[in-house]
Structure 1
Amino acid sequence: MKTKYIIRILTITLLGIITSCNGYLDLNPTDKTSDKLVWSTEDNANLAINYFYSSLADIGSYNTYECLAGMTEGLTDELKYSSMTYNALMYIPNEISYGGSVLTSTYVDAYFGVWNTTYTLIRRVNEALSDLEKYGSFNEETTARMKGELRFFRGLYYFELMKRYHQAILYNEDLSKISTNKALNTEEEGWNFIYEDLKYAGDNLPKTTSPTGRLTSGAAYALMARAMLYCNNWNAVKEASEKIFSMGYKLTDNYSDAFKSGNSEDIFQYSYNAPDNVSHSFDSYYAPGGDATEDGNSTSGGFATPTQDMVEEYELATGGKADWSKWHTTSGTTETPPYDKLEPRFAATILYNGSSWKGRTIEPYIGGIDGWCTWETDATPEGRTTTGYYLRKLVDETHNFSKGQASTQPWIAFRLAEVYLNYAEACYRSGDNSSAIKYINKIRERVNLPDLSGISGDNLFAALRHERKIELAFEGLYYWDMRRWGLSTTAFTDIRRHGLKIEKNSDGTFTYTYVNVDNEDLHYPNKMNRFPIPLDEIENNKNIGGQFSEWK
């Protein structure tokens, strides 16, 4: 059904449950009169559960839960951060990309680790579930809905742990089983735990939501379809996806509309709301440099920009890849790249020389309003592109730097296109090539690309990977996809990223020169396929079994 899912943070004043501990292993769970009051009325209980909705603000490309250093695409061939000035935000993704001795367990935990934060949230969910059971006296349907919300969040938090560490210490709402010395559960147990939580949530949450935008069955099944890819549970992926297919969601006619609030494809979104002090800074980091320059702040925007390598992934509008050999010359060419011949998702995702934006023309060239800077040697790269491109997708065209405007565009957490691709992957892995092709083609048909046909095996898998890379570009999934497929070590090692240096000539033409935008090869070591356990957890938990072998 076409419904609008909006989550806003509400002020919480009745939550003894969320202030009772600093971490998961506080062994003194609350049992106070205030807790009874929290769960005495439905309004109070909903307010208590709203606390967990606030954690969604941190998950996604607009914030740093996924990676403290910025967008995870900046660790791949898709995106290039522009600075190598030490301690600058834009420095760290490059340092990680180049790998080497810097990737110690302490360093990786600092930028990728979510152990302590996530276990605190899990503890609070379990306290809420325990108190709901102990103090709540709601009807069966309301109780099941509340449990469904809480188990969705617990499933989400454990998914974030499992995709990073492959194992976790499992706790449920039985608070008597908390221990400071509990061993890691097996990988299979972890994924089964997530499945059960999300299955319960999907079965007990409503299919539609009220204007306040609480979780729905569709959100739970969308998370299940995504999570079960990581453990190769293809039947569960298909089960969850088919539930969503029966709910009436539809692809938007226009690709760009899929990122607008409340569209037909939107299964669940987190809406930011500046008046409630819930906002993000995505635009001030990633908008074209000219936006900031026009508003008198030349050091904002352009922190990271799409690479030429990513641009060349886009097919021609008629199908097949463009021939970019003319623009792979280091001596330059005045021939205009074939931007206008590429399929629609290119222009909807990436701003290029000559793009229309905010009523002006993008100028990502030397001396242009959006600027161009040489990788590493330019002392002030802020507000200029290193690659000749800027992000369009996810950036708010109405954002105004001069007014100090906070960014409030919603984060589309789950949408139907991803579910189609999840389902296609599960079908491919299960040997059902025809269904895999069918659901890939549903995505391609929206942008009028020719249908795929007659492919199988490695060719079909390559087509699936390509479609995910393009359709879900910059939505925070590509880095994790490559990692779960076991392809990162080869794909992100011994390569360099590229851009186009653009110069405007006196006759109004442009010279495009192919340039490296890395000063050394990228290197992705095998150990990055599983992140290290925090050292304080190892020191404090004698039964955890020590550090993972690859990090010793």
Structure 2
Amino acid sequence: MNKKIYSLLLGAGIIITLPACNGFLDTEPSNSFPSDKVSNEYSLLGPALRGVYDELQGNNYSGENVYYAGRFITAGDVMGDDMQALSSGSRVQAYYNMKYTKDDAPGIWFKAYSVIRTANRLLEMCTKLSSQGLSADQMAKIRSAQAQALAIRALAHFDLCRQYATPYKFSNDGSALGVPLITTVPENKYLPSRASLKVVYQQIIADLKAAIATTELPETSYGYISKNAAKALLGRVYLYMDGTEGNTQALALSKEVIESGKYSLPTTVEAYKTIWSESTSTEMIFSVVNFDSKDWADREGLAYIYNVNGYYNAHITKKFYDEMLQDPDDIRWNVLVASKGTNAEASASNTPGLKPEFKVFIGKYPGKAAYKDMRTNDVPVIRLAEVYLNAAEAAFKLGDRTTALKYLNAIVKRANPAKSVVDADLTLERILDERAKELVGEGHRFFDLMRNGLRCERFYGGVAGWHGPLVQESRSFDHTYFRTLLPIPLYEIDLGSDLAKQQNPGY
């Protein structure tokens, strides 16, 4: 695969670069979109679509230009109670410390809106191409690209809501502020006012439903949005909405994906360890793919940030380690790694009580075996295990304990066939604990706690465990703590738009 780098200054001064890939999209990427030229040239449809996916991953120029490749996923990990930063100055430190202000807060704001703008340019291109009298095969590819752009636009708006808006359950039926909603190519340099959370969610759902309804989307696809990927993501959105309607839809969509027969849960250690890295995985529903060494976020990517021979910037907490110790035969120990004999050993040894032989580092992202480089690892977005857990949680909240147990035990028994959960032990906390063990290192724990109104106890029982210094209010909190929502970046506020009047409370 060849690669040329195209750069574009988007809206708020974001530089983006785009690599190429294989198959239908085996062409050089582009998101510069000269409107009179690109929008009328079918040959550039492939590169334009690839550009959307490459924006979703992010590049290696700077930390805040990395989206799914690193910062968004690590934020969901280290802002919770199951993972923590190893040392000061690490790439996850700002999220972990949670003492940021409006002047220095991290966040995906600019990168996510760059994704949305790029998706909207592709949608505009598809609309113009659709009127060019192209062949049936070409029109099918246009509709497929359009569906994928809609789904990615929905995902980016949803992620922005997760970082910058009140959890839906506590939003007064969606009347709280959401985020600026962008469904066209904006003419202004600044964003519009924040729409209500309900309006944003309505657009997210509409986009995903439109993608699912597109007949040209395949049932499965490696590295691209498929029909089942869109269904799984929509199920996640509904789960976050909560309530009877949200959980009913989340359960129905999750069941469709599970019962499609297109995916399965690997049960051997060898297969389990490759879920996050290899294209042969039967469990990964959608990941952002690095096709080779030209396609990665390099050392700014998720794999390098977590790997014991990379930056090893974070590891699991003592609380989570003690919870894992309750079952030494849990298959998930096989994707946790000790620091002994690795680059991380010396730094980990400086933490009181943390021994080099303790398996506390995330080993889910070793890189593709063919390339022998952690940086080639794909970036996970959603996999079958989460869909099972989404179904279990939704069913439990609907009072369907039999169905909840069925889907929860599919994950419990995969972890250890000798284990199961009985009805008497079925609680929301038990489901969320299983989510924590299954999805650690994939960016979910913090959001799971906040959307359910549960406390995040980092200094559990007042004990620091392996935690370093944390400000008092960031040791134990729930969704009412103002720093659980990130501030709208100061640059955006200073542009003079209405967003200056809509900053999140506390900033």
TM-score clears 0.5? yes
Q: Deviations over 1:24-76 (max 9, x none)?
A: 99xxxxxx995354344544212211100102324999733317xx5543333
- Counterpart CA distance in 1 for 2:2 and 2:180 is 29
| Alignment equivalent of 1:412, drawn from 380, 385, 389 | 380
Pick which of 522-531 and 368-377 moved more: 368-377
- Counterpart CA distance in 2 for 1:104 and 1:186 is 24
Matched, 1:440 2:408: yes
The letter of the residue matching 1:394 is: K
Give, in angstroms, the shift of residue 214 of structure 1: 3.4
The answer to whether the Cα contact below 8 Å between 2:385 and 2:411 also exists between their aligned partners in 1 is yes
- Compared CA separation, residues 21 and 444, structure 1 to 2 (3 A): closer
Q: Which runs of structure 2 are paired with 1:79-94 in the superposition (5 Å)?
A: 79-84=83-88, 88-89=89-90, 93=93
Could you say which residue in structure 1 is the equivalent of 2:316? 306
Could you say which residue in structure 2 is the equivalent of 1:64? 70
| Alignment equivalent of 1:535, drawn from 477, 490, 498 | 490
The letter of the residue matching 2:275 is: A
Give, in angstroms, the shift of residue 198 of structure 1: 0.9
- Compared CA separation, residues 216 and 168, structure 1 to 2 (3 A): same
Give, in angstroms, the shift of residue 161 of structure 1: 1.1
What SS does structure 1 have at the residue aligned with 2:234?
Answer: helix
Could you say which residue in structure 2 is the equivalent of 1:115? 109
What SS does structure 2 have at the residue aligned with 1:66?
Answer: helix
The answer to whether the Cα contact below 8 Å between 1:168 and 1:185 also exists between their aligned partners in 2 is yes
Q: Which runs of structure 2 are paired with 1:205-216 in the superposition (5 Å)?
A: 205-208=216-219, 213-216=223-226
The answer to whether the Cα contact below 8 Å between 1:257 and 1:263 also exists between their aligned partners in 2 is yes
- Counterpart CA distance in 2 for 1:89 and 1:33 is 36
TM-score between both structures, scaled by the size of structure 2? 0.76
Q: Deviations over 1:449-506 (max 9, x none)?
A: 42222237xx5101101110111111111122122222245566774443xxxxxxxx
Could you say which residue in structure 1 is the equivalent of 2:180? 169
| Alignment equivalent of 1:475, drawn from 427, 435, 442 | 442
- Compared CA separation, residues 73 and 218, structure 1 to 2 (3 A): same
The letter of the residue matching 1:550 is: P
Q: Which runs of structure 2 are paired with 1:265-280 in the superposition (5 Å)?
A: 265-280=283-298
Give, in angstroms, the shift of residue 424 of structure 1: 1.1
Give, in angstroms, the shift of residue 234 of structure 1: 1.6
Give, in angstroms, the shift of residue 399 of structure 1: 8.5
Q: Which runs of structure 2 are paired with 1:456-475 in the superposition (5 Å)?
A: 459-475=426-442
Give, in angstroms, the shift of residue 155 of structure 1: 0.5
Q: Which runs of structure 2 are paired with 1:367-406 in the superposition (5 Å)?
A: 372-375=348-351, 388-396=358-366, 405=373
The letter of the residue matching 1:420 is: Y
Give, in angstroms, the shift of residue 368 of structure 1: 11
- Counterpart CA distance in 2 for 1:449 and 1:480 is 30
Matched, 1:351 2:337: yes
The letter of the residue matching 2:320 is: M
Matched, 1:251 2:265: yes
The answer to whether the Cα contact below 8 Å between 1:24 and 1:120 also exists between their aligned partners in 2 is no
Show structure 2 runs of 5+ residues with no match: 15-31, 59-64, 166-177
- Compared CA separation, residues 286 and 33, structure 1 to 2 (3 A): closer
Could you say which residue in structure 2 is the equivalent of 1:142? 141
Q: Which runs of structure 2 are paired with 1:172-183 in the superposition (5 Å)?
A: 172-173=183-184, 182-183=192-193
- Counterpart CA distance in 1 for 2:388 and 2:372 is 39
The answer to whether the Cα contact below 8 Å between 1:308 and 1:387 also exists between their aligned partners in 2 is no
The letter of the residue matching 1:190 is: V
Q: Which runs of structure 2 are paired with 1:337-348 in the superposition (5 Å)?
A: 341-346=328-333, 348=334
Could you say which residue in structure 2 is the equivalent of 1:189? 199
- Counterpart CA distance in 1 for 2:68 and 2:49 is 23
The letter of the residue matching 2:85 is: Y
Matched, 1:74 2:61: no
Matched, 1:220 2:230: yes
Could you say which residue in structure 1 is the equivalent of 2:62? none
What SS does structure 2 have at the residue aligned with 1:455?
Answer: helix
**RMSD, aligned CA:** 3.9
Matched, 1:484 2:488: no
The answer to whether the Cα contact below 8 Å between 2:293 and 2:375 also exists between their aligned partners in 1 is no
The answer to whether the Cα contact below 8 Å between 2:264 and 2:384 also exists between their aligned partners in 1 is yes
Q: Deviations over 1:362-406 (max 9, x none)?
A: 469xx99767523399xxxxxx97894442532428899xx9956
Q: Count residues in correspondence.
A: 450
The answer to whether the Cα contact below 8 Å between 1:238 and 1:426 also exists between their aligned partners in 2 is yes
The answer to whether the Cα contact below 8 Å between 1:424 and 1:439 also exists between their aligned partners in 2 is yes
- Compared CA separation, residues 418 and 372, structure 1 to 2 (3 A): closer
Show structure 1 runs of 5+ residues with no match: 1-7, 26-31, 293-299, 318-340, 354-361, 378-383, 499-515
What SS does structure 2 have at the residue aligned with 1:252?
Answer: coil
- Counterpart CA distance in 1 for 2:344 and 2:48 is 51
- Counterpart CA distance in 1 for 2:501 and 2:266 is 49
Which protein shows a greater Rg? 1
The answer to whether the Cα contact below 8 Å between 2:367 and 2:375 also exists between their aligned partners in 1 is no
| Alignment equivalent of 1:241, drawn from 254, 269, 284 | 254
- Compared CA separation, residues 124 and 493, structure 1 to 2 (3 A): same
Identity value in percent: 20
- Counterpart CA distance in 2 for 1:117 and 1:307 is 29
